[in-house]
Structure 1
């Protein structure tokens, strides 16, 4: 029998894939992380919440290593991030030793609240921007 957090992951992921992400990707102000699909090789764009601090973009994944975009980053850390309508190239780093809950206090409030409520395996990521 599946555990509660596994059911939560399936339900939230299905909703995000079919409803939330397709709508969010179209919003001009939405931050997107573009990864390369680890099996398809195609560009994959995922709406995220985070904040640019200097030459780095910080975010927290709600499902950690179960998130498809995180798995893509593991296979190829070269990404692009769309911030305020402009694309930036960068290298993503998974930071499992970072306190993701504490990190959320420095990121956009509404997204952080959603990540806290919906997330089951929080993981901090940092993208070092090169342009």
Structure 2
């Protein structure tokens, strides 16, 4: 990662971690993904912008495998997601072969614009919902 991308990553993730995410998690209809912390073993809830299509939830991570929730998925792909105010269990899959820029066209517009603006290493994540 270039120095410019590293500075951008640190600035954006600090704002997300301390300002945006705590506020977003409180919104009743914000989509959340709950992973198990790879070190702590505790539940970690991250606001995401995705779209449910049938029994799948599609997400694009702006920092790919550098995102903490993606690293948690690598350690344990069993997740819960809150979509439309309801919680669902599922299994997350990282889709390296999927084109995340094309995928963003099918996801919520405002989130997709933000992901494109701040993202440096896009990665598609699909959650197969069990219920």
Give the TM-score taking structure 1 as reference length.
0.98
Cα distance in 1 for partners of 2:119, 2:47 equals: 15
Cα distance in 2 for partners of 1:96, 1:7 equals: 25
Cα distance in 2 for partners of 1:107, 1:99 equals: 13
Runs of at least 5 residues in structure 2 that lack an aligned partner in the other structure: none
CA RMSD of aligned residues (A): 0.6
Q: How much has 1:37 moved relative to structure 2?
A: 0.1
Partner SS state of residue 60, structure 2: strand
Q: How much has 1:128 moved relative to structure 2?
A: 0.2
Instruction: Determine the structure 2 residue equivalent to 1:96.
Output: 96
- After TM superposition, the runs of 4+ consecutive aligned structure 1 residues lying more than 2 A away are none
Deviations 1:87-110 (A, max 9, x none): 000000000110000000000000
Length, aligned pairs only: 130
Partner SS state of residue 4, structure 1: helix
Partner SS state of residue 19, structure 2: helix
Runs of at least 5 residues in structure 1 that lack an aligned partner in the other structure: none
